[in-house]
A and B are shown apart, each in its own frame.
Chain A
Amino acid sequence: MSGNEIVTDVVIIGAGPVGLFAVFELGLVDLKCQVIDILDRAGGQCAELYPEKPIYDIPAFPEISGQGLTDNLMKQIQPFGAEFHFSQMVANVEKLEDGTFRLTTDAGEVFITKVVVIAAGGGSFQPKRPPVEDVEQYEGKSVFYAVRKMEDFRDQDIVIVGGGDSALDWTLNLEPLARSLTLVHRRDQFRGHADSVNKMRALVEEGRINFITGQLGRLEGENGQLKEVYLKTAGGELGVPATRLLPFFGLTMKLGPVADWGLDLHDNALIKVDTEKFETSEPGIFAIGDINWYPGKLKLILSGFHEGALMAQAAKKIVHPDQKVIFQYTTSSTQLQKKLGVA
């Protein structure tokens, strides 16, 4: 074991409401957690898709926003000191001879854990891929869904597609480097910050960038290197020289690498679990929340909370097989109240 590995009782994959409440339930039975999420903050789908939207079916909250729920959960789990690892995805899971798991993330972090809890909701947030023929052959070479190194875009003919903040921000940031830059959007209205829209329009006025109302049609190039992007516009097809294409259509969730971990799946999309422990086909790996499936499953946050409570009892037996699990209530147990810092 190298010194760079993080050794823990439990790794939770996913920092949405269900993953966060799992920290609480696991904390009550004295298990320490590391939490990994592909997003840059806690909250999962609630924070990413609808932070301001009211949720009406959380017990004891007639109405609460996705962000409000996340904030409350973060406060609730604070006594248990879980450590968070954001902006990364678990790429590989390996079972070791002693029964523990080694998890490696795409950021190179390594975890050694006795229990893995998959609470990844609809999966990992991935960029929406435009339905353009052969786009896959260009991905990572001349089509990118994010800008990792701005220098890779210097002196390139760049086409950016989209109408949100990502499209506008990268239009503004890459313009000074680009040989040419064309922003493409389906309409002449943008949902990004007004200031960014004004700056973009000023660049168009000055002739430093092009703005075209239209949509991606087809790509032309060879060996993964783009030469031209053809756009569908009101005036017909329009070719634009392009050596770099950045489509920004937002994010969507996909199961991602979890699909390759050898777990039994339902409909090739959800992880099968039992309803006693919410354990997958691999002992020691649990799945809770929207990502799991069992007969009668309801995709409710409420269900995920319940699943997390039962999972924690089973996880305790794996991490401390020699300790008796004593069922206690937070209202009456001094032990639990001490853990919560209220006694």
Chain B
Amino acid sequence: MRIFVTDQDGTEHELEALEGWRVMEVIRDWGLNIKAECGGSCACATCHVFVDAEWQDKLNPPTDEEEDMLDTVADYEANSRLSCQILMSEELDGLKVTLADSARQDEAA
């Protein structure tokens, strides 16, 4: 399985993904710029991605908990999702997302 992730600089990366992994974990494991501060607990919104239009309807809708956390991203768009809440499955082979600025790992200060 693969996912296509466009980073904050506009470069697209093709990443190998495994069944059952959270998309956030795939992105983090491949070393892209994702903060994922809480480690996948849906508690920080620092794994924020924008889902490509063709894939939005293929995802489970966000839970109330995810919607609440999306309130804490200042760069929200209609296609915003938390990548820790998207579980990889065969149906999502080829998923395309773009990393949001609010998911950046900050420089030190």
Contact = CB atoms under 8 A, between A and B. Distances in A.
Interface of A: 45, 49-50, 53, 122, 128-132, 161-164, 185-187, 189, 191, 215-216, 247, 249-250, 252-260, 265, 268-269, 299
B79 interface: no
A257 B11 CA distance: 32
B102 A186 contact: no
A257 B108 CA distance: 9
Given A164-B72, A249-B71, 18 more contacts: A49-B37, A49-B41, A49-B44, A50-B38, A53-B41, A53-B43, A122-B37, A128-B72, A129-B74, A131-B74, A185-B71, A186-B76, A249-B72, A250-B44, A254-B109, A258-B108, A259-B108, A269-B105
B86 interface: no
Given A50-B43, A53-B41, A254 B71 contact: no
27 contacts: A45-B37, A49-B44, A50-B41, A122-B37, A131-B74, A131-B101, A131-B102, A132-B74, A161-B74, A164-B72, A185-B71, A186-B71, A191-B71, A215-B76, A249-B71, A249-B72, A249-B73, A250-B44, A250-B72, A252-B35, A252-B106, A253-B37, A254-B108, A255-B106, A255-B109, A256-B109, A259-B109
B108 A249 contact: no
Contacts of A254: 106, 108-109
Contacts of B35: 252
Contacts of B41: 49-50, 53
A50 B37 CA distance: 11
Most buried by B among A45, A129, A216, A265: A45
A265 B108 contact: yes
Interface residues of B, number: 25
A128 B38 contact: no
A128 B43 contact: no
A255 B74 contact: no
A90 to B, nearest CB: 14
A269 B38 CA distance: 17
Contacts of A269: 105-108
A129 B104 CA distance: 12
Contact of A49 (B38, B68, B71, B74): B38
B76 to A, nearest CB: 5
Contact of B71 (A131, A163, A216): A163
B108 A128 contact: no
Contacts of B106: 252, 254-255, 269
